[in-house]
Each structure stands twice: as C-alpha cells, then as structure tokens.
Structure 1
Amino acid sequence: MDTSELLKRVRQIEIKTRGLSRNIFAGEYHSAFKGRGMTFSEVREYQYGDDIRNIDWNVTARYNQPYVKLFEEERELTVMLMIDVSGSREFGTVSKLKKNQITEIAAVLAFSAIQNNDKIGMLFFSDKIEKFIPPKKGKSHILRIIRELIDFKPEHRNTDIANALRYMTQVIKKRCTTFVISDFIDDDFENALTIANKKHDIVALKIFDKREQEIPSIGLIKIKDAETEEYSWVDTSNKKVRDNYAKWWRDKDNLLIETFKKSGVDVANIRTDQDYVRSLIALFKRRGH
C-alpha cells in the first residue's frame, strides 16, 4: 500500500471509529474499565469504623495517637491491545476479512481509551513477538497505532498466545487492561492466561468467520491452511466430512469457553459479518455492573 492510499485508509478508519467511540462507547467504556488501582491520598486521625490495616504506624508513633492512610481510586488506566497477526486473520467469506474487523475494533478501543485520558499501547504477535508499541497518550500516538494496524506485515504466520501473554506480563509492570484480539486458533495457553489475568485485567475478543463454524456443500474444493500454507483437497459434498468438521469446531469452541471461565477472563465473540458495536456494548455493560 503506497503512502497516499495508507493515509486515506487511516482517515477513513479514524472518522468511523472515533465517532463510534465518542457517541456510543464513551460512557460504557468508562464504567466498564474505570481505574482499578488505589493511590495514597493523605493521613488523618483514626475514626471509629476505620480499617485498622490502614493505620500509619510511623505517624501514629510520632503523634502518640492513631492515624490512618486514606487512598483514592486511580482514574487513569493503561490499556494494551494484543493483536493476533498470524496467517489465519487473512480469512473472511462475507463482508470483510478477520484482520479488517480486528483493525476497526482495535481503533475504536484506542479512541475510547484516549477520550478517557488513558494510555494506550499495542503488541503484535504471531508465534513470535512481532512488534511492541509502549503505552502513551495523544492523537499522534493513536494515528501511529492505526497506521500500524492497517499496514503492518508480520514475519511469521503461526500462533503462540501463551508466549505473547508472558511477554506482555513481563514488559508491563503496572496493572493494565489488556484486550487480546484474536481468533484463538491455538492450544495450551490457559496457564499463561490465568497468570496474566492475576496481574492484569485481561479481556478476550474472539473474531471469527461464519464459514469457520461449518463447511457448505459445494463439492470437491482445494483449501489452504493460512498458517502452515499447506494445501489439501476436501469433498464438501460428503455429509460425514461436514459433520465431523462442525463437531471439531464445537468441541474447540467449548474448550475455549471453559478456558476463559477457568482463567476468569471476560470474552466477546464477534463474527466478521455481524455488527461488532453490539457485542462490545454488551461486554461493556456486563463489566459495568
């Protein structure tokens, strides 16, 4: 994509997603992801009913009577976008590719974060860490993120969610809200997800295409695995083949649901041919209550 085409796409994404974040998500985002941490504010004399765990023993000893520390909620958040850039994102059969849906959703979340005066950072991952953009504020930073979302070319095509979660947990020291935006076509990341969610607030956004749920009966077709780039022939007119595939998808989906539940991670399932606005608002409302 040349520079003028890239800038045009950035502008289109900015206009659409900034409007959505301002008009639709602002209040819901704020209530769903308000500051979770507490910062020290001041000390005052102990009053009946105060939590004795908050007694400041140094001040108490100095004045020979009990004083307690007061804390206030941190309003500013750090938000991380963990973006799956593996080969399977290049799939889509109806209105858009998975990667285009991911780009729009990430841009909406980025603008929502900035309007809430939060810092926003981004991590691109495949089976390697492809790129890390540290959290910052400001419109120029947001536009850089959108440019990267549109134009980034990963070096690898496979997926390793556990590796990405471990990296994010190591580099982001302060507790943050992290959106993992992926199709979650991967195995064995439950342990890393559980550990990451203890330190941070992890939210999963699963992006998928309806043709990944079931195969239509259209005869003999040649298919390509987007990550291994291997080809194979499939007879889609064979009902047993279609049924076996549908069962494989359901089993994998049920395993994912169980993984998120065990890890204590909120999830929204977003199909490429459906309106992601509804899914995000429903997620925000669930978390805001």
Structure 2
Amino acid sequence: MTTLGELTPEQALRHLELLFTRRVDGMLQGDHRGLNTGPGTEPDRTRVYEPGSDDVRRIDWNATARTTVPHVRLTEAERELTTWIVLDASASMDFGTGRMEKRDLAVGAAAAVAFLTERSGNRIGAHISGPDGILRIPARTGRRHLLSILYAALDRPRVAAGPQRHSLGDTLRTLRSLRRRALVAVVSDFLEDGWERPLRAVARQHQVLAVETVDPRELELPPVGLLTLVDPETGRRREVPTQARRLRERYAAAALEQRAQIKQAIRAGGAAHLRLRTDRDWVRDVVRHLAEQQRRSGGVA
C-alpha cells in the first residue's frame, strides 16, 4: 500500500480521492448516505414510508393517522449536515512503525469522513492543531473546499518533541461557538491528558465520532536490546532493556489497560469510537464501521 509520506501533497490528495471513488465504492453495498454516528436523535420532519428501506420502528403514527399513509420520522442526521473535522497534530502523531505514520493515518481518516459526508452535499469545516496554533477552516460545500482541508492537513508542519502549546482539549474547546448541531469527527491518538471533559461537552451538543489512531509499537515492545524511547509530548528520554521478557509483558499489559481506558472514556463521553491501526487495512476498517452503523440504525448509515 502506498503511504502518504512517499507522495507530494498533490499526489496524496489524488491517492486518497481514488481510494474513496473506486475501492470504497466497490466494498460498500446499498445506499450509504454518509458517515453518521447513528440515525440522529432530534425529530425534524416526516416522509412517506418506503417498504424494505425504512425501519418500521421509526413510523410516525400521528402523521400516519393524519394522512392515512404510513410515514416515518426523519431526524437531523438524515438532512443537510455540517461536518467538522478535529485533527490532532501533536508530536505523538509523528510516529509509525507499520505501513505509515499516525499523522498519515489521521489524514486518511479525515479523508474518509470528508469524502463520505461530502457525497450528501453537506458542509465541511476543520479545526487542525499545529505548532503555530489551531488552524480553523470554515464549513463550506464543494469538492474544491474539501480538498483544501485535506491539503492543509497534509501540509501542516511537524511538531518538535516537548511540551505542547495547544492540546487536543484546547482544540475541542474551540467548538463551543458552534450553534448548529453537527457531526464532529475527532481524529487523535488520545494519548495526552485533559481531553475527556471537552469531548463530553461537545458530545452533549453534537454527534461525535472519535477516531483513535494506534501503532503496534505502542501496544508491545519488540526484543531488540537496549532501546531509547522519547516521550514526544514532554521530550523526556528513557533507556529500555527490551530483552527483558517481564518488562515487555508489563509494557503490553499497561498499554492494553491504557487503550481500554481511552475506549471507555470516549464511550462514556457520548461519542462513537473507531480505532484504526497503522499496520492494518484502515480503509476496510472504516467500511466495516460504516456497515455496522448502517445495521444499528436500521438500514441508514
């Protein structure tokens, strides 16, 4: 699989676009209206019931009685939706030992959200963190605007290891000013502290999809002798004797517990959770998530 780091930004954009106009179309089956976290929770209007397509549990009996024709409730997620991509560009994202770095995987995940929601004519905006602050791109429609968001994500500079000026929590707090209910896709490794409460606050007002990026070396250490590890968020270095089996086992157990805590915090905050790995076929994992959401929502993704 071609990695984004091997390509120029223009080539990377073309590569991502081909993924979602050819490969994903071939993997998806049925009518997928977008990458929503569910069918929505706010009743809005009704339309005529379509046998075989609509879930009978969503029949609006009041409208059916008034018109004598079966109607179903529509929710906000089925209509025009504004999508916001929150992209974490902290130093820990500049790491990868699989097929790509986590920063490239994050851009791929952002592209998945963008291309899948853009198909429905929705507006898309972004808040991208970086060493110079938070880049805010207003929500607009159109393929050219979508590509400009992805170009900005690809072109963001790398962050030096050490204390970060802007955290994921800071970026999430910038969404307080959003008035209209939206789909918010948060793409991060969620390794830093302080994002739980801001995420919960966003999820109270919006649909939230948390896309967690993971590299296999964050889950287990290979037996390669003395290894120098650097914490990208603090710059602290540590020599680790990876030949010690019990140390590797303790590391794997701690990593497993950490990921379980991240998953629990995301779900407790009211967000949907999608985990992508740098050593897996992330496009297939996105499609599987989409199919699962379609199944849970009764045929509408």
In the superposition, the TM-score normalised over structure 1's length comes to 0.79
Structure 2 residue identity aligned to 1:121: G
State the 1:164 CA deviation: 1.8
**Aligned counterparts of 2:141 and 2:195: Cα–Cα separation in 1:** 30
1:197 is matched with 203
Aligned pairs for 1:37-48 within 5 A: 37=42
Structure 1 residue identity aligned to 2:22: G
Between 1:28-37 and 1:247-256, the stretch displaced more is 28-37
State the 1:232 CA deviation: 2.3
1:46 is matched with none
Structure 2 residue identity aligned to 1:160: S
Is the Cα contact below 8 Å between 2:96 and 2:278 reproduced in 1?
yes
Structure 1 residue identity aligned to 2:259: D
**Aligned counterparts of 1:10 and 1:127: Cα–Cα separation in 2:** 23
Does residue 146 of the first structure (1) align with residue 150 of the second (2)?
yes
2:55 is matched with none
Aligned pair count reads 259
Structure 1 residue identity aligned to 2:15: Q
**Aligned counterparts of 2:110 and 2:288: Cα–Cα separation in 1:** 17
1:64 is matched with none
Does residue 19 of the first structure (1) align with residue 22 of the second (2)?
yes
Q: Name the SS of the counterpart of 1:27 in structure 2.
A: coil
User: Cα gap change, 1:190/1:148 in structure 2, threshold over 3 Å: closer, same or farther?
Assistant: same
**Aligned counterparts of 2:232 and 2:222: Cα–Cα separation in 1:** 19
1:188 is matched with 194
**Aligned counterparts of 2:285 and 2:12: Cα–Cα separation in 1:** 24
State the 1:6 CA deviation: 3.0
**Aligned counterparts of 1:127 and 1:24: Cα–Cα separation in 2:** 37
State the 1:36 CA deviation: 5.6
**Aligned counterparts of 1:201 and 1:127: Cα–Cα separation in 2:** 28
Query: What CA RMSD, in Å, does the superposition of the two structures yield over aligned residues?
Result: 2.8
Aligned pairs for 1:208-223 within 5 A: 208-223=214-229
**C-alpha deviations, 1:155-180, integer Å up to 9, x for none?**
67636222222211x23211101111
Between 1:187-196 and 1:123-132, the stretch displaced more is 123-132
**Aligned counterparts of 1:155 and 1:244: Cα–Cα separation in 2:** 29
1:119 is matched with 123
**C-alpha deviations, 1:61-97, integer Å up to 9, x for none?**
xxxxxxxxxx964410111111110011111112111
Structure 1, unpaired ranges of 5+:
42-48, 52-70
Is the Cα contact below 8 Å between 1:180 and 1:202 reproduced in 2?
yes
Is the Cα contact below 8 Å between 2:183 and 2:206 reproduced in 1?
yes
Q: Name the SS of the counterpart of 1:244 in structure 2.
A: helix
**C-alpha deviations, 1:118-144, integer Å up to 9, x for none?**
111111125985211111111110111
Is the Cα contact below 8 Å between 1:180 and 1:204 reproduced in 2?
yes
User: Cα gap change, 1:97/1:282 in structure 2, threshold over 3 Å: closer, same or farther?
Assistant: same
User: Cα gap change, 1:164/1:156 in structure 2, threshold over 3 Å: closer, same or farther?
Assistant: farther
2:111 is matched with 107
Equivalent residue for 2:10, pick from 3, 7, 12: 7
Between 1:76-85 and 1:228-237, the stretch displaced more is 228-237
Q: Name the SS of the counterpart of 2:34 in structure 1.
A: helix
Aligned pairs for 1:1-289 within 5 A: 5-20=8-23, 22-24=25-27, 27-30=31-34, 32=36, 37=42, 50=62, 73-74=75-76, 75-125=79-129, 129-153=133-157, 158=164, 160-168=167-175, 170-288=176-294, 289=296
In the superposition, the TM-score normalised over structure 2's length comes to 0.76
